[in-house]
Amino acid sequence: MPPDTMPAQPKPTPTALRPGDRLDWNLLRTFLVIVQERSISGAAAKLHLTQSAVSQALRRLEEQLQRRLIERHNTAFTITNAGEEVRRAAQAIYGNVAQLLTEVSQTEVETAGRIHLLVASRIHSGVYDSFWAHFHRAYPRIEVQMDVLPSSEIVALMQQRGASAGIAVCRQIPKRLEHKIFLQQRYALFCGRNHALFGKTDIRIDDLLGENFVSFASDALGDSLSPLTIFRDQRGFSGRIVATSTQHDEVKRLLIAGFGIGCLPEHSVQADVEQGLLWRLPPGEGVCTVDLHLLWHRDAPQTAAEASFLKAFREYIDAYPMAQRLAPATTPGANTAG
């Protein structure tokens, strides 16, 4: 019989497994080491096995494949044609296994972990809401802690590396922080349905100069919403600030209650205007535009989860023009930054 052919084995019964199903993959690894070392004794030393165990493994592999894989005559060591085919196949198999293990390991690192996000009060954006659904589907093992704080506190904490990232109003970006503009919010003047000016269509800016104000607590010179203060000072408003809050919803609540007039992001209260809760006041061009930024610390080391969030958020919002980012969510409970 040809030297690389083993004696014929009985044909398997119909219920028997195919040879590939019975194959012990550890035998392939042992065979690869035998070929690499070109000896049974060398393979035994490398695998920390006895020579007898290595010889038996080779014999079992040859029996399963029904082919002679190695010819041994005294010191001569020859790989048969069948043995060469098995060597190539085994190397390809173990190369694929190694690549699979590497990819699985990297995937586990990228998709597991925790991010801590600081956000300004109420981010009103359908794109923002849909991003979180997209992010959770892509990274279901990343846990999210989200804390709502005034923008000035967010900026201060981000400078101290107090969170993975922040979303806040920030007039001047500190040197150590990286940023990306998320929303450009146009603020306008409004009054509520309980105010004397509600529903009037012939109002001029001069008619507002003596009105009292409801204001954001950050609406002060040097703070995140100071353009609102500058606007009042430049236009000569003389009314008092009679109510303040750090929260968008509370400022809106006090405006609706009739405490005074005040500024809100125009896109965030479109539904309230349509429902007759708020009334848009002059000037028609609005008061000012305030940018809402994604912030992260330039020098802070990032975990795989944090890097995944920052990359995913920036890429997601880049797919939408600013007008779409400002559009409201289509589901209840949409969020505005204050």
Residue 150 confidence (pLDDT) above 90: no
User: What pLDDT score does 221 carry?
Assistant: 42
- CB count within 10 Å of CB 85 equals 14
**pLDDT per residue over 62-92, tens digit each?**
888 888 888 877 667 788 898 888 888 888 8
User: What pLDDT score does 111 carry?
Assistant: 65
In this prediction, residues 309-333 reach a mean pLDDT of 84
User: What pLDDT score does 102 carry?
Assistant: 64
User: What pLDDT score does 218 carry?
Assistant: 67
Answer with the residue of higher pLDDT: 150 or 106.
150
Among 285, 282, 286, 288, which residue's Cα sits nearest to residue 204?
282
Answer with the residue of higher pLDDT: 282 or 7.
282
| Rounded-to-5 percentages of helix, strand, coil across the chain | 45, 20, 35
User: What pLDDT score does 105 carry?
Assistant: 59
In this prediction, residues 156-171 reach a mean pLDDT of 92
Asked if residue 266 lies in contact with residue 281, where contact means CB atoms within 8 angstroms, the answer is: no
In this prediction, residues 3-29 reach a mean pLDDT of 59
User: What pLDDT score does 314 carry?
Assistant: 96
User: What pLDDT score does 332 carry?
Assistant: 37
In this prediction, residues 178-207 reach a mean pLDDT of 94
Q: Which of 51-55, 167-171, 216-220, 317-321 has the lowest mean pLDDT?
A: 216-220
User: What pLDDT score does 104 carry?
Assistant: 62
User: What is the dihedral angle through the alpha carbons of 62, 54, 79, 9, rounded to the nearest 10 degrees?
Assistant: -10
For residues 137 and 46, give the distance between their C-alpha atoms in angstroms, rounded to a whole number: 45
User: What pLDDT score does 278 carry?
Assistant: 97
The overall pTM is greater than 0.85:
no
Dihedral pair phi/psi, residue 158, rounded to 5°: -65, -35
User: What pLDDT score does 25 carry?
Assistant: 73
User: What pLDDT score does 206 carry?
Assistant: 92
In this prediction, residues 10-16 reach a mean pLDDT of 48
User: What pLDDT score does 136 carry?
Assistant: 95
Residue 208 confidence (pLDDT) above 70: yes
Residue 330 confidence (pLDDT) above 70: no
**pLDDT per residue over 287-307, tens digit each?**
888 899 999 999 999 999 999
Question: Can you list the domains of the chain with their CATH numbers?
Answer: 19-108 (1.10.10.10), 113-182+292-325 (3.40.190.10), 184-289 (3.40.190.10)
Q: Which of 17-31, 107-121, 122-136, 196-210 has the lowest mean pLDDT?
A: 17-31
